[in-house]
Amino acid sequence: DAGITQSPRYKITETGRQVTLMCHQTWSHSYMFWYRQDLGHGLRLIYYSAAADITDKGEVPDGYVVSRSKTENFPLTLESATRSQTSVYFCASSVLMNTEAFFGQGTRLTVV
Amino acid sequence: AQKITQTQPGMFVQEKEAVTLDCTYDTSDPSYGLFWYKQPSSGEMIFLIYQGSYDQQNATEGRYSLNFQKARKSANLVISASQLGDSAMYFCAMRGSSDKIIFGKGTRLHILP
């Protein structure tokens, strides 16, 4: 299907485990973003990417790793999950700088 | 550094009334864009409206308009003739020359019948 999809939609993992959240877009958008949403904090930018092989830190990058070997994929990895990383994670993409971002459905991650 | 501030955590508005959601921003970039998104209880993020910093006129999209006051660094969202379906979380966002898009903490809007 066309659009931007995240997988899995729901994930429960244990403290200390590595977990990867996937994001795939079919539009060939240059820009991709990862956000986390927590009550009282709105959406906070974790990492973003302007093109394949170009990534940069956002507001809250600690504990996360990203890669972008292909334009359409932008996986987010929690190297050693902590309870504070329990959150809803959103991936987004956009064509150009002065255009809106389109969001995936979100991944609800619980770290126990 | 860029910053978005939404000072209204929650608002209650009577159906059919107009509502203004506040957003102020801070940036040193001469060129930037401002966005509003709606997040209903189902969780998806829905783009509503965009305003460029060099746009001469305020953006409008149906019942949504953006009251852009550049000197005050404010970009308030105005919803005319509110409907029950407008009950949702609303986020203001900004994009500057660094490519990243940052969001405010949001305002939860409740429309009362």
- CA A29, distance to chain mean position in Å, is 15
Q: Which residues, numbered 63 to 92 in chain A, qualify as contacts with chain B under a Cβ-Cβ cut-off of 8 Å?
A: 88, 90, 92
User: A106 contacts in B (CB within 8 Å)?
Assistant: 43-44
Q: Calculate mean pLDDT across residues B14-27.
A: 97
CA angle B63, B67, B72 (to 5 degrees): 165
Burial state string for B1-33 with b = 16 or more CB within 10 A and e = fewer than 16? ebebebeeeeeebeeeeebebbbbbebeeeebb
Which chain B residues touch A if contact means CB-CB below 8 Å? 6, 31, 33, 35, 37, 43-45, 47, 50, 52, 91, 93, 95, 97, 99-106
Count the neighbouring beta carbons within 10 Å of the beta carbon of residue B108: 14
Contact assignment for A42 to B33 by CB distance below 8 Å: no
pLDDT in tens, A47-68: 999 999 999 999 999 999 999 9
8 A C-beta contact, residue A90 and residue A103: yes
Residue A89 has pLDDT above 70, yes or no: yes
pLDDT in tens, B54-108: 998 999 999 999 999 999 999 999 999 999 999 999 999 999 888 889 999 999 9
**Reported confidence tier of residue A40, pLDDT bands at 50, 70, 90:** confident
Element (H, E) at A72: none
Contact assignment for B52 to A98 by CB distance below 8 Å: yes
Rg (CA), chain B: 14
Range name among A19-23, A101-105, B1-5 with the lowest pLDDT average: B1-5
Decide if A97 touches B, using CB distance below 8 A: yes
Contact assignment for A40 to B35 by CB distance below 8 Å: no
Average pLDDT over chain A, rounded to an integer: 95
User: To the nearest whole angstrom, how far is the Cα of B15 from the nearest Cα of chain A?
Assistant: 26
